[in-house]
Amino acid sequence: MNPKWRHFLLRRLTRLVVVLAGLVIATFALIHVVPGDPARAIAGAQADQNAVERAREELGLNDPAYVQFGDYLSGLVRLDFGDSFETDEPVTKVISRSIGPTAELAAFGMAIILFVGIPLGLLGGALSQEGNRKFELGFSGLTGIMAALPDYLTATVLALVFAVSLQWLPVAGAATLSAAILPAIAIAVRPMAMVSRLVRIRTLDVLEQDYIRSARSKRLSPRALYGRHVAPNALAAALSVAGIAFAALVGGAVIVEQVFARPGLGTELVQGLLVKNYPVVQGIILTLGAAIVIVNAIVDATLALVDPRTLEGEL
Amino acid sequence: MNYRLKVLVAVLAMGLTAVAVGCGGGSSGGSGSQGEATGIPGGNAPKDVTLELRTDVDTFDPHKSINESGAQQVFAAIYDTPIKLAAGGPDAGGVLPGLATSWTSNPSSATFTLHENLTCTDGSPLTPSGVAKSIERLGNPATGASFATRIFGPGGLKSVKADDSKNTITIKVNEPYTYLVEGMADAYIVCPNGLDDGKKLAQEPAGTGPYELTSSSRGEVYEMTRRDDYNALPPEMTIDQFPEKMAMRVIAEDSTRANLLETGEADIGSILGQDALRLRGSGNLNEVEGAGFGVSALLFNQSKGQIGTDETVRRALSMAVDAADYTKAASFNVSSEIDTVYSPNMDCYAASDGESTPGFDLEQARQILEDDGWVKDANGIYEKDGKALKVRLLGYDVQNSGPEYLLDAFGELGADVELNDTTFEGAVSVLFGTGEWDAVVFPYTAELYVPSLMIGQISGDPAASLNVGDVQNEAFNTLSTEASGLEAPERCKVWQEAETALLDSSDIKPVMWDKAAWFGNGMTFQAQFWIVDLRTIRVSG
Per residue in B35-87, pLDDT (tens digit) is 445 668 888 999 999 999 999 999 999 998 888 889 999 999 999 999 998 87
Selecting from A37, A55, A163 the residue whose C-beta is nearest the C-beta of B263 gives A163
Q: How many CB pairs under 8 A join A and B?
A: 148
CA distances (Å), B14 to each of A38, A296, B86, B174, B273, in order?
Answer: 22, 47, 13, 26, 17
Show the CA angle centred on residue A233, arms to residues A231 and A234, nearest 5°.
60
Establish if A26 belongs to a structural domain: no
* Chain B residue with the nearest C-alpha to that of A262: B220
Residue A187 lies in a domain: yes
Distance from CA of A171 to the nearest CA of B (A): 6
How confident is the model over A159-168, as pLDDT tens digits? 999 999 999 9
In a domain? residue A60? no
Instruction: Test A172 with B256 for CB contact under 8 angstroms.
Output: yes
Model pLDDT for residues A124-156, shown as the tens digit of each residue: 888 887 667 888 888 999 999 999 999 989 999
Question: Per the domain annotation, does A157 fall within a domain?
Answer: yes
Burial class from Cβ neighbours inside 10 Å (0-12, 13-18, 19+) for residue B386 reads: exposed
Contact between B288 and B18 (Cβ < 8 Å): no
For chain B, positions 207-226, list CB contacts with chain A under 8 A. 217-221
pTM of the shown model: 0.87
Asked if residue B29 has pLDDT above 50, the reply is: no
CATH number for the domain harbouring residue A141: 1.10.3720.10
Range of the domain at A103: 93-278
Nearest to B256 among A36, A41, A171 (CB): A171
Mean pLDDT, range A299-305, rounded to an integer: 80
Give helix B402-413 / helix B362-371 axis angle, nearest 10°.
50
DSSP A260: T
Q: Smallest Cα–Cα separation from B327: which of B251, B254, B409?
A: B409
Which helix (H) or strand (E) segment holds residue A42: the answer is helix A38-43
Contact A40 B433 (CB under 8 A): yes
B404 touches A at CB < 8 Å: no
**d(C-alpha B501, C-alpha B482), whole Å:** 14
Indicate if the pLDDT at residue A111 is higher than 70: yes
Is A178 within a domain? yes
Q: How confident is the model at residue B7 (pLDDT cuts 50, 70, 90)?
A: very low
Cα separation values, B207 from A18, B159, B335, Å: 48, 23, 34
Mean pLDDT of A54-71: 84
Radius of gyration of chain A (CA): 24
Closest partner residue to A47 (CB to CB) among B146, B202, B423 is B146
Convert the pLDDT of each residue in B248-279 to its tens digit.
Answer: 999 998 999 999 999 999 999 999 888 999 99
- Cβ–Cβ of B423/A37 closer than 8 Å? no
- Say what the pLDDT of residue B22 is: 32
B461, B467 Cβ separation under 8 angstroms: yes
Nearest-angstrom CA–CA distance, B407 and A71: 46
Q: A14 in a domain, yes or no?
A: no
Residues in chain B with CB shorter than 8 Å from the CB of A98 are 219
Question: CB contact, 8 Å: B200 with chain A?
Answer: no
Q: Mean pLDDT over residues A204-211, rounded?
A: 82
Helix (H, G, I), strand (E, B) or coil at B532: strand
What is the arithmetic mean of pLDDT over B165-170?
Answer: 97
pLDDT above 50: residue B9: no
Q: A253 to chain B, minimum CA–CA distance in Å?
A: 15
Per the structure, the count of domains in chain A is: 1
Average pLDDT, chain A: 85
The verdict on residue A258 lying in a domain is yes
Q: Is residue A237 assigned to a domain? A: yes
pLDDT tens figures, A273-283: 888 888 899 89
Sign of CA dihedral A17, A96, A111, A105: negative
Give the whole-number percent of chain B exceeding pLDDT 70: 92
* Residue B14 in contact with partner chain A when CB distance is under 8 A: no
CB-CB under 8 Å, B429 with A35: yes
CA dihedral A142, A147, A148, A150 (to 10 degrees): 120
Which of A96-110, B10-24, B299-313, B365-379 shows the lowest per-residue confidence on average (mean pLDDT)? B10-24
Q: Which residues are within 8 A (CB) of B263 and not within 5 positions of it... i.e. 6 or more apart?
A: A163, A164, A167, A171
Query: Is the distance from CB of A210 to CB of A237 less than 8 angstroms?
Result: no
Instruction: Calculate the average pLDDT of chain B.
Output: 89
Q: B105 — phi, psi (to 5°)?
A: -160, 160
At B395 the pLDDT is 97
- Give how far the C-alpha of residue A84 lies from the chain's centroid of Cα atoms, to the nearest Å: 24
